[in-house]
Amino acid sequence: MTAKVPLNLYDLTRLELTELITGWDFSPVHAARLWRYLYWECVGSLADMTELPAKVRTRLQAETSVGVLPIALETDSSDGFTRKYLLSLDDAERIETVLMRFTGRVTACISSQVGCAMGCVFCATGQMGYTRHLTTGEIVAQAVHVQRVLRSQDGTRLRNIVLMGMGEPLHNYDAVLKAVDILTDGNGLSLGADHITLSTVGVVPGILRLATEKKAIRLAVSLHAATQAGRAALVPAARKWQLDELMAACRTYSETTGRRIFYEWTLIEGENDSEQHARDVGNLLRGLPAQVNLIPLNPTTGYDGAPTRSEAAKRFQKILADEFGMPSTVRQRRGIDIAAGCGQLAIATQ
């Protein structure tokens, strides 16, 4: 007979947790205390939740678990602001999570899948391929892990999350959106929805579905090319969701939600960083509430391209601003020496 898998408490919303506890004929007060232990105090063991009655802890220990992800490896960048964690899952798979410190804020870059099925040619996660989706609890546990680290160091609060780690968030839609609900719960980690950024390679059905959600999270869409042929060469998923279909979905999203989209453009020297490429981006996004995030290519072993030079990035920005009135930023490079930058996360290299 197969042993029953304990219920991961990080899989539950606050309402679901309350229903679990009251369904056992315990007071909802104990559910509130348990939730506080999980998300305010980031306690990682039921045995350490000593303010819960013994009978409640006994039942929890028999049927549930706190889904803490053990650290297999942690690496600090020479930049002094970035730490990467290799975290172990129950089935022996592993994922990467990154803690990044900026002036006045801390950001966690978290994963949504083991690997990725989208196959972007310059992305280390795409190069390693897809293994499986993460559960809601495995996504939530990464944010709790970072908050636990911060509490133990200096009491800093986690303010921002970017779903830009391993995986395509909209390929794992239900688990990701439930994780967002848990992470934004005002009685928990209490992250502002507008402090959570979800990055997609352009999964059109997911973008359209997200447009109907009443969640103020930020949406980032990876473009990297302004023509169908150019995009398909870099982003194989573009062959399924073509550029005109993607832009129509983006337009629907902005019109429905009233929110702008952050369009990501990985700057590859000689590939997509010319002045004409900048004008192509401006024309493609003309009339849309948009901001362009320019990301100098980060090195991976599976792609030979080189990052654009800073002068080219500045020219790109100037054209967007002067000719199209379009705001843009150049992504601050962090953790490149430990393969913690955008597009560098992968397990095969460990």
Here the CATH number for the domain that contains residue 50 is 1.10.150.530
| Residue of 38 and 347 predicted with greater confidence | 38
Handedness of CA 60, 62, 64, 70 (dihedral sign): positive
**Percent of the chain with pLDDT strictly greater than 90:** 84
pLDDT of residue 344: 73
pLDDT of residue 349: 42
pLDDT of residue 336: 81
Is 218's pLDDT higher than 50?
Answer: yes
Most confident residue range from 148-162, 199-213, 299-313, 333-347: 199-213
CATH number at residue 162: 3.20.20.70
268 shares a domain with 162: yes
Q: What's the number of domains the chain is made of? A: 2
pTM for this one? 0.95
195 shares a domain with 56: no
Which residue intervals of the chain are DSSP H helices?
14-23, 28-39, 54-63, 124-128, 136-153, 173-183, 204-211, 228-234, 243-257, 275-285, 310-324
Domain final position from 43, 65, 87: 65
Rounded to an integer, the average pLDDT of 201-220 is: 96
Is 37's pLDDT higher than 50?
Answer: yes
Residue 346 domain flag: no
Q: Are 224 and 246 in contact (CB under 8 A)?
A: no
Q: Shortest CA distance to 159 belongs to which of 197, 213, 129, 130?
A: 197
Instruction: Say if residue 187 is exposed, middle or buried (CB neighbours under 10 Å; 0-12, 13-18, 19+).
Output: exposed
Catalytic residue numbers?
96, 342
Distances (CA, A) of 4 to 11, 65, 70: 16, 12, 21
Tokens of 170: 């909209």
Instruction: Say if residue 168 is exposed, middle or buried (CB neighbours under 10 Å; 0-12, 13-18, 19+).
Output: buried
Alpha-carbon dihedral angle through residues 85, 36, 47, 175, given to the nearest 10 degrees: -50
CA distance 99 to 144: 12
Domain final position from 40, 65, 90: 65
173 shares a domain with 262: yes
Confidence of residue 243 (pLDDT cuts 50, 70, 90): very high
Is 1's pLDDT higher than 70?
Answer: no
- Please report how many Cα atoms fall inside a 13 Å half-sphere around the Cα of residue 317, on the Cβ side: 16
CA distance 292 to 263: 5
pLDDT of residue 3: 63
pLDDT digits (tens, 9 = 90+) for 288-330: 999 999 999 988 888 888 988 999 999 999 999 999 999 999 9
Q: Are 93 and 131 in contact (CB under 8 A)?
A: yes
pLDDT of residue 346: 83
Residue 129 domain flag: yes
Structural domain containing residue 256 = 72-338
What is the overall mean pLDDT for the chain? 94
pLDDT digits (tens, 9 = 90+) for 111-134: 999 999 999 998 988 889 999 999
210 shares a domain with 87: yes
Q: Are 220 and 264 in contact (CB under 8 A)?
A: yes
